[in-house]
A and B are shown apart, each in its own frame.
Chain A
């Protein structure tokens, strides 16, 4: 189990720029999740993939956000025209399908700072 891998670990960008983050889940996990965490808050759900299909999106995910999982393996999260309010830790998690109480396995996250 190599764990969930996220890149980059840190990203500093200027307001208005686009950024893209990558997540490599645990290889045998079909389910992939993106969460966002700001200071003093718990992780907030953004979106969910079952294999390559994006099955749920939170209303937190504005139209500037897009996520893909083209081959059902790694996933990318893109934020266009970043705003200072986008500054947060972006977490990726994966879990196996089958058991509905399977825990989520989290990566270390990508910390985004928008200046």
Chain B
């Protein structure tokens, strides 16, 4: 069955700390991978995506993620977090195809303390 797992449900960091959020997927065939962010009171927004090519992808606001096919992982990283990064982060996988629907993980709530 297709699934996405995020093992960190709640992360608390101080400003300037480094961030790594785990994401593992189970998906047959070609997979496209995404990280979305939801700031308090706002809609889900795309941070970055991987669909082919360089497995290290860079997104907005200094975020990056690395696709490691052998580990079925797509972890999100940021070298130095800011208070404004406080949000919920969702990893998602999709195979494209006829529907291009996405399967989401359960999310990681990040709280950055000033």
Contact = CB atoms under 8 A, between A and B. Distances in A.
Interface of A: 3-4, 31, 33, 35, 40-45, 48, 50, 55-56, 91, 93, 95, 100-109
B96 A100 contact: yes
Contact of A103 (B9, B34, B95): B34
Interface string B68-102: 00000000000000000000001010111111111
Task: State which size class the interface on B falls in.
Answer: 20 to 34
20 contacts: A3-B43, A4-B43, A31-B99, A31-B100, A33-B101, A41-B107, A42-B104, A42-B105, A42-B106, A43-B90, A43-B104, A45-B103, A48-B101, A56-B101, A100-B97, A101-B49, A103-B49, A105-B46, A106-B44, A107-B43
B83 to A, nearest CB: 23
Given A3-B43, A101-B94, A103-B46, 8 more contacts: A31-B100, A43-B102, A56-B98, A56-B101, A101-B49, A101-B96, A102-B100, A108-B43
Interface of B: 4, 6, 9, 32, 34, 36, 42-46, 49, 51, 90, 92, 94-107
Nearest to A102: B100
A3 B46 CA distance: 13
